Amino acid sequence: MGMYLNPPKSIFSKYLKARIFVDKSDIFRHLNAWCESYDGYICLTRPRRFGKSMMTDMIAAYYGLDHDSHDIFDGLKVAKIDTYAQYINRYAVVSFDAQSFRDNVENPLDFVPSIHERIGSEFRARWPEWTDSTMTLPRMMQEVYAHTGSQFVVLIDEWDSIFRRDKNNTAACKAWVQFLRSMFKSAEARSYLALAYITGILPIKKYDVESSLNVFSEYTILDTHPLEPYFGFTEEEVAALCAQYQMNLNEIMRWYDGYRLSSDISMYNPKAVVEALARKRCSVYWTQTGAFDVVMDYVNMNFDGLHDAISQMLMGDRIPVKTGGFNTSLELRDRDDVLTALIHLGYLTFDWETKTAWIPNEEVRNVLEDAVTKSGWKNVMENIRRSRDFMDAIECGDAREAASLLESIHDALSVPLHYHSEGDLTATLLHACYVARENYLFYREIPSSRGYADLILAPTMVHAHRPIIFELKLDTSTDSAIRQILQRRYFDTPVLKNYHGDVLTVAMMYDRKDKQHRCAIETMTI
């Protein structure tokens, strides 16, 4: 047993003693099925702090043959899998963090030699009769397999770190590509490898190493099936944690949910959720672990349409993005490349069905808003100011001021061709309500017992804010819109079923004939 060769199971067992632990061990349902097959080459890319390293440590603890791991895994989900006993402690494991190796050498050209030396020394200590200092790591694995028949599980965390850190050092990057090729692409590798599992932030093809790693199946943030549930927290897991720690699920959802991985799975940011539950308050946690300068660099790139796209997303819109042309974060060519990079980095999320991207949650929205504010985007700052004034007017019951502000926002956003449409008015209202995302969840076209409410803002903290029901109308009176809210019982919707107290009902009307915006605000009790 060494640091890199069959690392101690205690590395993973520490996660079990953490403040919050969510059991993801049923991933072995897939990994065990892929072992010793042509499917046993997995490259998983996710944003920072989405559980990649924890998963790598868990895989090492489960498969490593130099220890008995039953005391750890007998109580976890993996123990219920049919192949649990067949694969536990079955393989020799080589596991290392490429970023840590790079951090420990001053010259990037020493990166690969240090891997051969440090991991090789553990091989020589474990199998001195079959290995020596002249051998590369893949050659040692080949010799050990030839003499013992023991196959290897190879785990590399942060495999792409050198491309991000030493992107201008061609020799160092080529040496790493050659290492990967010799480790995974040789004919011998097919015999000595039972499973290869590497993790990173950006996909393989983005670094021009397809020929070295084309044996790998990639599971990216854009295409993750069937591994969706294992990286990040699911809604069911977060709901259970909120009940355990007595935290408001709606507030946690607003701050940290929103990563769309499939039509029915949306993931929560695990780092942020753990911090919020432990500290008993929602704030910016995950984004503080990364480099704010990277976001600043991206949002300030001078590509046509980029600033408009980010501005629209900040106001709640979804933006079409072409992700297929993205090549590398080192060679961004246009607006779509930048937005795709932000998706992979976790600052945006993406829906394959609609091919649109948007800001996933309040935590990320705070960071992007801060970035564009520091960059002096006057149009964004003006939109935010108007939105705050609009919501203040609604809260104070100032219908005249609310109508005036809605008109100014409508004028700023709309084009003459669409100005008089109901869809344009709806988009204007959503922009006007932008800052309400700090305290409310937005629900559009919500069914009641007698109709559909245009927009309901449900407070995440019910003791601090009143729900707001909006009804939009063209060419009618605001009084009729208020009556419709009552007659169609828009307060009788699932999002308000457990609420008792005052509700603001707001009618927003645009008269196409006299080109006037009007508003009425009334309070009702439910």
Q: Supply the pLDDT for residue 504.
A: 94
Residue 1 in any domain: the answer is no
Give Cβ neighbours of residue 105 (< 8 Å, ≥ 6 apart): 111, 114
Total residues found in the chain within this entry: 526
Q: 93-107, 178-192, 275-289, 418-432 — which one is most confidently predicted on average?
A: 93-107
CATH (domain of 48): 3.40.50
Contact status, residue 329 vs residue 208, Cβ threshold 8 Å? no
Burial state string for 227-264 with b = 16 or more CB within 10 A and e = fewer than 16 = bbbbbbbbeebbeebbeeeebebbbbbbbbbbbbbbee
Confidence of residue 79 (pLDDT cuts 50, 70, 90): very high
Q: For residues 296 and 411, state if they share a domain.
A: no
Q: Supply the pLDDT for residue 352.
A: 85
Residue 64, pLDDT above cutoff 60: yes
Q: Supply the pLDDT for residue 416.
A: 64
Model confidence pLDDT, tens digit, residues 303-360: 888 888 888 888 888 899 998 866 555 567 889 988 998 998 889 999 888 999 999 9
Final residue of a structural domain among 352, 376, 400: 376
Residue 258 in any domain: the answer is yes
3-state class (DSSP) for residue 335 = helix
Q: For residues 364 and 302, state if they share a domain.
A: yes
Domain span including residue 515: 380-525
Confidence of residue 495 (pLDDT cuts 50, 70, 90): confident
Q: Which stretch of 158-172, 306-320, 403-417 has the lowest confidence by average pLDDT? A: 403-417
Q: Supply the pLDDT for residue 260.
A: 80
Residue 150 in any domain: the answer is yes
Q: For residues 96 and 183, state if they share a domain.
A: yes
Q: For residues 421 and 493, state if they share a domain.
A: yes
CA proximity to 394, closest of 491, 520, 480: 520
Residue 41 in any domain: the answer is yes
CATH (domain of 479): 3.40.1350
Q: Supply the pLDDT for residue 208.
A: 58
Residue 2 in any domain: the answer is no
Final residue of a structural domain among 354, 376, 398: 376
CATH (domain of 299): 1.10.10
Q: For residues 413 and 515, state if they share a domain.
A: yes
Residue 466 in any domain: the answer is yes
Distance, CA of 58 to CA of 425 (rounded, Å): 52
Q: For residues 146 and 176, state if they share a domain.
A: yes
Residue 375, pLDDT above cutoff 60: yes
Model confidence pLDDT, tens digit, residues 452-492: 888 999 998 877 789 999 999 888 888 998 999 888 888 88
Residue 270 φ then ψ, to 5°:
-70, -40
Contact status, residue 384 vs residue 377, Cβ threshold 8 Å? no
Q: For residues 115 and 144, state if they share a domain.
A: yes
Q: Which stretch of 46-60, 116-130, 288-302, 417-431 has the lowest confidence by average pLDDT? A: 288-302
Residue 78, pLDDT above cutoff 90: yes
Residue 509, pLDDT above cutoff 80: yes
Q: For residues 190 and 296, state if they share a domain.
A: no
Percent of the chain with pLDDT over 90: 49
State the maximum Cα–Cα separation within the chain, in Å, rounded to a whole number. 93
Q: 């020929």: which residue's tokens?
A: 211
Q: For residues 370 and 507, state if they share a domain.
A: no
Residue 266, pLDDT above cutoff 90: no
Residue 481 in any domain: the answer is yes
Q: Supply the pLDDT for residue 259.
A: 85
Model confidence pLDDT, tens digit, residues 171-185: 998 899 899 989 998
Confidence of residue 95 (pLDDT cuts 50, 70, 90): very high
Q: For residues 254 and 325, state if they share a domain.
A: no
Q: State the average pLDDT for the chain.
A: 88
Give Cβ neighbours of residue 340 (< 8 Å, ≥ 6 apart): 321, 322, 323, 326
Model confidence pLDDT, tens digit, residues 110-133: 999 999 999 999 999 999 999 999
Residue 5 in any domain: the answer is no
Give Cβ neighbours of residue 203 (< 8 Å, ≥ 6 apart): 43, 45, 218, 220, 344
Q: For residues 176 and 208, state if they share a domain.
A: yes
Q: For residues 114 and 216, state if they share a domain.
A: yes
Domains held by the chain: number: 4
Both tokens assigned to 482: 């208020």
Confidence of residue 419 (pLDDT cuts 50, 70, 90): low
pTM exceeds 0.75 for this model: yes
Final residue of a structural domain among 288, 310, 335: 288
